[in-house]
Structure 1
Amino acid sequence: MTAADVDPALLVDLYLRLSIDKEGKDALERQEADLREWAASQGLTVRKVWRDAGKSGYKKGTKRPDFDAAIAAVREGEVRTLAVWKLDRLSRRGAGQVGAVLDDVDEASGRLYFLKDSLDSTVPNARMLIVMVSEQARAESANASTRIQAKKAHDRRNGRYLGGSRPWGYEVNADRKLRQHPTEAPLLREAFDRLMAGETMLTVCRDFNSRAIPTRRHGAIWRASTMSKALRSPTLSGLVADYRENREEGYEGTDIHPWRHPDTGEHVSLMAEGEPPIVTEGERMALLAVLDGRLRQYGRGMRAVKQPETLLGGGLVVCAACRRVCVSFGGSYRCRRRDFTGEPCPAPLTVSHRVLEDAVRRSWAHGLASLEPDDPILQAVADRWLLRNDPAPIRERKTLEADLATVEARIDSADHDRYVRGTLTDERHSRITEALAVQARRIRADLAALPEPQANLGALLDPELSLPAIEAAPVLEARALLRLAIDAVVVTASTGPGARFNALDRMRVIWAGSGVDAKTVDLRELGLRLPEREKVTA
């Protein structure tokens, strides 16, 4: 019997979180072991374990995907109980976040249990205690944050390295001062000199990789982004860095500047006494001017622009010539084999987002229209379509089914109390079970009257309806719909400058379940192996 066959009331999900993913008495393994022991003692079956390793429960804006998924599982009725090792593992954001979670769980007739706090959300008056403990956890985090910020401010004023991984090219001694690394510092100076002499960042990275020069991360290779970060930071010139959030429209991330002492207005050095930096601040500023000048040549301004979400992102576009997954760069999908490996692609692909995405949307719409109504691809898209566009009947059915399961469990409990434990008299047992039977009949009638949720396959079989729908859908939702039907889009390079994009000649859609790996198969085989699919890709 699988978890899907068990009454949700007998299932429990576990949520584990650790701010710093390392061993310790509160490590994830310890949390899971304690929670599994508790679940076994309660006769509950662990359905799923949700983990957010290395995720803060206090910092605003921190994304915790498993936290969201765990709450959603209770809210959707997949499981009734969510068990957490301690309340501050769930959240350190206080009553605001915890109160919203309690509302969601209560609305779904679910249960939150906090092992080390001995708090159960289904116990009367427990909500007040949970909120109080959550506010205490928030206050502890706020106090710790204040202490940490005060220490950082003191270290910053005194020119001490603030912590974290040491900057590549430097060593950090006991008093948090920097000294040049004996082997890395000369290499960083070499990179600086070569860039100032006119070499590109990619050329230097390829050379470093060919010489097996290690990065800070074991096993990683040098990329332009890695080297740019090391060379742009004020730490390169031995200065305390100031990270400022950039809110200008069209940009993303933070700007890095040398920090100035609030009393003197001067830059603060991180270097140990008598130790020179790898480059001076004047040299670093000259390098920035060179690098930013190159960016302007490509129309990218002086800061890196965040690439927008694209319809075919995440590896859907494959270069036909070298079979590498293409990346989004500027307004195009491009083969960047040379950039990442140093080896040229025989016919590198470049095609604009708009042109290729329009062609793929048309292929998707006309491809679905060519399928039989019982085709698994069409059914998968229809299910997603239904969940997105008509979720209300599904939620209503789940609610009624959960209510019916609760009533039936109470009838079983009453029978157990009467015939096994002997704690109910015949009269009381009859009164309880008759009332519960009335509730069960009413819920079954409501379920019978509720129409079975069905997707409108007519819309999917008519390109005049499905094409406008996917064009109007949000990018990530449209991508999810495409991925249910399409494994990859293999595209060949243009025949020459200015040539119009012809989908029939340049694009091949690899449909889901076809058994073809677009990254390894020769294009000449596609027509033989997928003749019926190839007809609908134009």
Structure 2
Amino acid sequence: MIYCRISQDRTGAGLGIDRQREDCEALAARSGWDVVEVYVDNDISAFAGKLRKDYRRMLADLEEGRASVVIVWHTDRLTRSIVELEEYIDLSDRRGIATHTVQAGSIDLATPSGRMTARILGAVARQESEHKGHRVARARQQKALKGEWTGGPRPFGWGVPTDETVKKTDRKTGEEIEVPVLDMTKAVPEEKAAVAHGTDMILSGGSVRGFYRWLRDKGLKTSLGKEFAHPDQARELLLRPRNAGITVSRGEEVGRGQWEELVPEDKFRACVAILRDPARVTTPGSAPKWLGSLLYRCGRGECPEFVYVTQSGGRAYPSYRCQTGHGGGRRAETVDKYVVDTVIERLSRDDAPELLEPVPEGVDVAALQAEAEQIRARMRDLGGLFGGGQLELLAFTEGMETARAQLEGVTRQLARAARRDPLVGLVGAPDVGVAWRGLELEQKRGVLRSLVTVTLKTPRPGRMPDGGYFDYSAVVFEWRRTPKREEK
């Protein structure tokens, strides 16, 4: 049996594997051995602990007695894990497996001296891996502290092609091609616009799921060229400190990055405050499909309940009905159209700018965010002291309750400073109707929550004066905001 492994194959060409295989096959030929099978794990580190499928398959075949000799290019190709080495030694001892290497000769694992040699070589290989990992981590940390690009896959938002090119091997064809070098300090325009749009959506009452749908509708792909497959990817996209030009090392913010920011820092921190708000409901169940579901109020008598959409009664169209089930329904499509037309008309008036809420002044979002992190750290410390028996239950409970109350207060301040007025994108728009249609459903519902209370009163029976049967007068609007001139 021959086993080949290479830790990193950036091009995907498998050239390192091919060289190992050729040298191992040459050793087998010189020794007069027939090769039963060649096992290959490409681009998998033995030190990282990732599953090596062919290695595990080889061990299973050795256990079944398919071969008695294993050839590897070097012992460190076989394993760099002490635990795996001991497993391999035990199997070799039980099954009489001989191990031969191209670079280090044969290793007799049936003798104490042979096992000692294997363990020494394994320890040396592990030390080399650990030392390499430390060097790489230290180099990345140093770059991060300088605000430089630390390497890895291209992050969504940055990487503009330059005139310079490098040669790489195409993964699919194996051919050598020239690809442009990317400038990781410059933002990709359409990706920058996407992150800015998503941030504004959250600040104006939109949802992560809505941003996720927007990304897919626009045909935008991840930096690896794949479709966004889950809303969590959209959420993580908005939570990256690098969006605001902030560099991170080992999970901690360490300074400013030498790259173009996608959004201003105050907007980024405001968006983070909303998305990480403990009170934020992220899984409310089935998402509303109608504008007024559980927003419009039932106006039959003194009923205080809200209405929802149902198709009960055998009707062929959805209707708004009270949660209590009393009374008839109002056709949902007609009600929503009337409400939308009324809202658009109100926001198209000359005095609409006077409906906007004043922008919070003097709020230090960064300081509030830092205070929130300090409170969370204090809560973690309390948990550690309690878990270690250094803090009594009463003191721990009181301390945690105080910290939670403080955190809730800071979060409320952040949320108030963070959220944009839902009306901002509509008031002053050249065409309010077009702007309204560009909003996701949850944003439209946010506009209603902020602007008006809609109540569905008991409609009059029979034909209305306009010739139809829909009683528009039974849809009552109570405006939550009024122009300043009317306030006076």
Larger Rg: 2
The two structures have a TM-score, normalised by structure 1, of 0.43
The two structures have a TM-score, normalised by structure 2, of 0.47
